[in-house]
């Protein structure tokens, strides 16, 4: 089946899947729920609309540069208490985690017409695109002019030219959806407005230097 490739690269990214209460985490690689949220923004698909067609796509990630985990925080004063009243003496600190200077090549394998539609939407997105959170803007663009490939997901990810060279933590590996492997709780099972996600299996394999893409 054909494959669509996306470039996820920028100063900051954040791909949280287990955030609870005031803390916002990030995975070391893009989550499927997060990337499909980006795709929905490009398509102009509302959070209340079904995403079954997008969730059925098979996702893979090539880590070209792992980046560095950063911790930031936000504060808020005047929080509602249990009685429903504003407490001006209470300040809440919310830790936020990000990936700095990471570079990922993400691929989706699936139905050709849907992939072509997404490809065009990434070129002219309906809403602004972000890398996990609104403040994490992509640079360079997510859209790749040569992003559509007739090859399967693994072949497309292996053969595409390297996204980034130079400084940074270079960790070349591939993550692919599979029938068994490590569990990621980022598979959308309902419209995004419902915030319901199920498990999916992912395998990780190093990218052999002899298989490294040409620059």
pLDDT of residue 210: 45
Domain boundaries, given as residue ranges, for the chain: 3-211
Q: What is the b/e burial string over 146-165, where b = at least 16 CB atoms within 10 angstroms of the residue's CB?
A: ebbbebebbebbbebebbbe
Tens digits of per-residue pLDDT, 140-184?
Answer: 999 999 999 999 999 999 999 999 765 555 658 999 999 999 999
CATH fold of 3-211: Alpha-Beta Plaits (3.30.70)
Quick one: pLDDT at residue 168? 52
Residue 67 has pLDDT above 80, yes or no: yes
> Is 90 exceeded by the pLDDT of residue 208?
no
- Write down the mean pLDDT value for the chain: 90
Task: State how far the alpha carbon of 41 is from the alpha carbons of 27, 37, 47, 49, 123, in Å.
Answer: 21, 6, 9, 12, 12
Q: Read off the pLDDT of each residue in 187-204 and give the average, rounded to a whole number.
A: 95
């Amino acid at each position: 089946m054909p494959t669509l490739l996306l470039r996820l690269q920028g100063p900051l990214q954040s791909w949280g899947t287990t955030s609870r209460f005031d803390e916002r985490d990030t995975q070391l690689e893009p989550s499927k729920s997060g990337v499909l949220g980006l795709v929905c923004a490009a398509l102009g698909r509302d959070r209340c609309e079904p995403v079954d067609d997008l969730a059925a796509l098979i996702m893979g990630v090539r880590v070209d540069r792992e980046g560095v985990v950063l911790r930031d925080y936000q504060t808020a004063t005047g929080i509602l208490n249990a009685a429903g009243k504003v407490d001006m003496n209470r300040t809440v600190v919310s830790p936020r985690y990000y990936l700095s200077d990471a570079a990922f090549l993400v691929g989706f394998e699936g139905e050709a017409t849907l992939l072509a539609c997404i490809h065009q939407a990434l070129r002219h997105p309906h809403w602004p695109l972000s890398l996990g959170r609104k403040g994490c803007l992509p640079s360079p663009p997510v859209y790749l002019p040569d992003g559509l490939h007739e090859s399967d997901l693994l072949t497309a990810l292996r053969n595409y030219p390297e996204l980034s060279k130079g400084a940074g933590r270079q960790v070349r590996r591939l993550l692919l959806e599979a029938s068994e492997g490590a569990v990621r709780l980022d598979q959308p099972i309902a419209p995004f407005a419902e915030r319901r996600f199920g498990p999916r299996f992912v395998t990780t394999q190093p990218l052999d230097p002899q298989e490294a893409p040409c620059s």
